[in-house]
Amino acid sequence: MHVTDAPDVRRVSVLKATGLIEASIDPAYDTGHGSYRLAQAALVVCITEEGHAEIDRLRGRDGIDASSRKASKAKNLEPLDYLRAIERSAFPLRVEDRQEIGCIEALKQAGFVDAVISPALAWKDAGGEPQELAVIKRITPFGRAQLARGATK
């Protein structure tokens, strides 16, 4: 499903950040000036196992068993798990790991963190392979509210 309406793109970002859907969100960089802009479009690929389990839970049915959830989470770092992991970090926080930067991008699009993510650049001492850099400035009040909701479950 292709989404272009700004509120819907934000909803897709939140659902992606919470691990309920797989989605591709357009790059959020204005390459002419190097500044950040809000994403204008998103492509929803699928509902994740966690998403289906949440739908089943909301419908009053027991969804996926715990072992299936653990196996699927072991494959990828989930953005909300990453948010919990950095909750008590000292900010600004510099991140170079690609998987973590993917989480940061999802969290930023969802409005959970204030962060700057550089495009992939070939650093002089990196052996020529392009590397990204992210700097998380803070967890936003919206992100802190999400963490508080997760703590009460």
Residue 118 CA to residue 29 CA, distance in Å, equals 9
Mean pLDDT of the chain: 76
pLDDT digits (tens, 9 = 90+) for 76-116: 678 989 999 999 999 899 998 888 988 898 898 888 999 98
Residue 106 CA to residue 26 CA, distance in Å, equals 11
